[in-house]
Amino acid sequence: VLPAEVFALLALEPGGVYVDCTAGLGGHAALAAERVAPGGTVVLNDLDAGNLELSRAAVERHESVRVCAFRGSFGELPGRLTEAGLRADAVLADLGFSSNQVDDASRGLSFKRDGPLDMRLDPSSPVTAEELVMTLPEAELADILYRFGEERASRLIARKIVAARRAGPISTTGALAGLVRSVLRGGGGRRGGPSIDPATRTFQALRIAVNDELGHLDAFLASVRHGAASDRGWLRAGARVAVLAFHSLEDRPVKQAFASMAQDGLVERLTRRPTVASEAERASNPRARSAKLRAVRTIGRTGDPGGERIG
Ligand SMILES: C[S@@+](CC[C@H](N)C(=O)[O-])C[C@H]1O[C@@H](n2cnc3c(N)ncnc32)[C@H](O)[C@@H]1O
């Protein structure tokens, strides 16, 4: 998504260190490898071990680039980079999930494909969507649907789920989607907006809860602040950090965190308003339609031998 715009903002140079927080299928990382070659480093990170290997294969074709791979949350990545003695020139977090994850029915991420109600991006994490749906008290379930799905019918849906689970397990994506559709018979779109599947917001909410997506994002944003404030942290002076968000619950904390860092003189905002996809990309790639790209550049501090001096 938005490759030209991302790399214009990240301004990679040969020999640079590029950190991909969400390597996925390696699309962005392979383009970054071309730009940091020769002599540069590409750091790959993903929660999903399968995607990490796919991205590694995409990048390792560039022989003149050093590749390091970490499996885990990007919230923990800055600490691991510091341990490894790596400092970033450019960082990208392309949030959410990849097409192969949604298309794989066995992961339970899609209401369009019947599969187990799982939704974990990291299969070793403890809680599945089925466990949430089967065990959470009704009020907590409604709260998750409202907060993470912005679902206005959250209480009705939670009540229906709790009534249905008394009769037996809700263990498939098809069963859950059917329940939600039976509550929102009139369709899931908002008045005046495009019509969407009624299950869309419920699935988004559960996916965010199962994967603690906003918690990981907060941890990452706190690390960006910390890195920008420190002379010897994981971000070099002048490092650029870009985030691609796909819904307002992700974009809002990014916008607020970047604004607050700018206010405190730690970064310069490279995007006052989010960059969005061109008409052409929106037409050819549905995922690009909701993408919002924001980026900052850390301000070099005096006394940092590794960075430029500004001001
Ligand atoms: C949209 S895809 C990235 C696509 C990638 N930019 C490309 O060009 O192929 C998002 C990836 O982020 C991973 N992911 C989601 N949450 C994560 C987290 N908290 N930490 C690390 N990776 C995460 C997913 O497993 C998925 O592979």
70 three-state secondary structure: strand
User: Is residue 304's pLDDT more than 60?
Assistant: no
Phi, psi of 262, deg, nearest 5: -65, -40
- Condensed to tens digits (0 to 9), the pLDDT of residues 164-188 reads 999 999 999 999 999 999 999 865 5
Q: Check residue 308 and give its pLDDT.
A: 43
Ligand 1 centroid distance, CA of 49 (Å): 11
* Helix and strand element counts for the chain (H, E): 13, 7
For residues 201 and 97, give the distance between their C-alpha atoms in angstroms, rounded to a whole number. Answer: 15
Report strand pairing: 235-245 vs 66-71.
unpaired
Q: Could you tell me which residue, 286 or 203, shows the higher pLDDT?
A: 203
Give yes or no for a contact between 293 and 2, defined as CB atoms under 8 angstroms apart.
Answer: yes
97 lines ligand 1 (CB under 6 A): yes
Does the C-beta of 121 come closer than 6 Å to ligand 1? yes
Strand pairing of 17-20 and 41-46?
Answer: parallel
Measured by CA distance, the residue closest to atom 4 of ligand 1 is 24
Taking the C-alpha atoms of residue 21 and residue 91, their distance in angstroms, rounded to an integer, is: 7
Q: Are 27 and 51 in contact (CB under 8 A)?
A: no
**Measured between alpha carbons, how far is residue 153 from residues 109, 205, 210, 261 in Å?**
21, 13, 20, 36
Q: How many residues does the chain have?
A: 311
Locate the ligand 1 atom nearest the alpha carbon of residue 26 and give its number: 9
The amino acid at 163: A
What is the best residue among 19, 25, 46, 91 to mutate for testing ligand 1's pocket, by most ligand atoms within 8 Å of CB? 46
Using the mean position of ligand 1's atoms as its centre, give its distance from the Cα of residue 178 in Å. Answer: 28
CB 94 less than 6 A from any atom of ligand 1: yes
* pTM exceeding the 0.85 threshold for the entire prediction: yes
Q: Is the CB of 44 under 6 A from ligand 1?
A: no
pLDDT of residue 185: 81
Atom 18 of ligand 1 has which residue's CA nearest to it?
73
Q: Around Cβ 72, how many Cβ atoms within 10 Å?
A: 16
Backbone angles phi, psi at 79, to 5 degrees: -65, -40
Q: Helices 3-10 & 27-36, crossing angle to 10 degrees?
A: 40
Average pLDDT over residues 45-54: 97
Asked if residue 47 has its Cβ within 6 Å of ligand 1, the reply is: yes
Ligand 1 neighbourhood includes 258 CB (under 6 angstroms): no
* Count of CA atoms in the C-beta half-sphere (13 A) of 184: 25
Sign of the CA dihedral running 91, 92, 93, 99: negative
- pLDDT bucket at 191, cuts 50 / 70 / 90: low
Between the CA of 19 and the centroid of ligand 1 the distance, in Å, is: 13
Q: What confidence tens digit (pLDDT) does each residue in 94-122 have?
A: 999 999 999 999 999 999 999 999 999 99
State if residue 25 touches ligand 1 by the CB under 6 angstroms criterion.
yes
